[in-house]
Amino acid sequence: MTQTRQTTIGKRISLQGVGLHSGRFTSMTLIPAGAYQGIVFVRSDITRGNKIIPARWDRVVDTRLCTAIGNEDGMTIGTIEHLMSALCGCGVDNVIIEIDGPEVPVMDGSAIPFVEAIEEAGIKALAAPRRAIKVLREVSVEQEGKRASLKPALGSIYGGEIEFDHAEIGHQTFKTQLLNGNFRHDIAQARTFGFLHEVEYLRAQGLALGGSMDNAIVLGGDKIMNPEGLRFTDEFIRHKLLDAIGDLYLAGAPIIGEYHGVKAGHALNNALLHALFESEDNWVWAETRDASATKGEEDMLLVA
């Protein structure tokens, strides 16, 4: 069924876990919110200054191995992409996220724990029309052989390709449309990944302090270190698209268009949103019952 109204979660959700990069244990509560509030993080451990951080593309302050957002007082929250991806995939428009630390818990390294919690809480429709950002013309960004683009399409489509010099990855491609629960089945279970030889360097940089085989695929030599193996043969590109869905949900609404990333990461995804919003000729607000849409197009809108 096409979502015609904005949504929030049906009840409060509480989650706890360690931060992938900070190694800090945090507790997080998702709270139902009203229409047009959007997705907002609140640092509940902060007692002074502004502790509210809207989840928006223009609030991104760091893209090293994760996406972090901040506010004018220097308050930040990191590794938001997996949660943002789950909210997008489940069609949640408005929610307040209270968290008592600087980083969203990594859980198992994928979005499925968040999806399952949202499904258990349920989705509540609000008395306001659901809006989307409809891409009107292609925009793209390139950097050092990497590329990310958005072009007009009838639905929310995410595709990409990666290539790593590792026997378990190599060249991988994947494409999916956020329609009829495809996010849960195609994307949500794909875990983040990293290389064993990079761990020492990352930890020296204050990153990956909470990383382990409980919350990431670890690649060592020419094999996967995790005893349980992979969830998908192409789990790596699926996780890259999981990240992209979360990064692009910082646009402030679902995107009606086709994303394609070639070796893209958080920095390029955020640069793509900056490029999209550079000109009003690139996009337009659309509602499910947008009179300018064709019947077929109308049915595809706002079903993320």
Catalytic residues: 266
Question: Which residues is 103 bridged to in the sheet?
Answer: 78
CA atoms within a 13 Å half-sphere pointing along the CA-CB vector of 250 = 34
Query: Do β-strands 217-220 and 13-18 pair in parallel, antiparallel, or remain unpaired?
Result: unpaired
**Are the C-beta atoms of 171 and 184 separated by less than 8 Å?**
no
Question: What is the 8-class DSSP label of residue 132?
Answer: E
Residues 6+ apart with CB under 8 A from 290: 134, 298, 301
What's the start-to-end Cα distance of the chain, in Å?
11
SS3 128: strand
Residues 6+ apart with CB under 8 A from 77: 41, 43, 53, 68, 69, 70, 99, 102, 103, 104
**Are the C-beta atoms of 84 and 55 separated by less than 8 Å?**
yes
SS3 304: coil
Residue from 170, 178, 141, 160 nearest 241 by CA: 160
Separation between Cα atoms, residue 28 and residue 105, nearest integer Å: 8
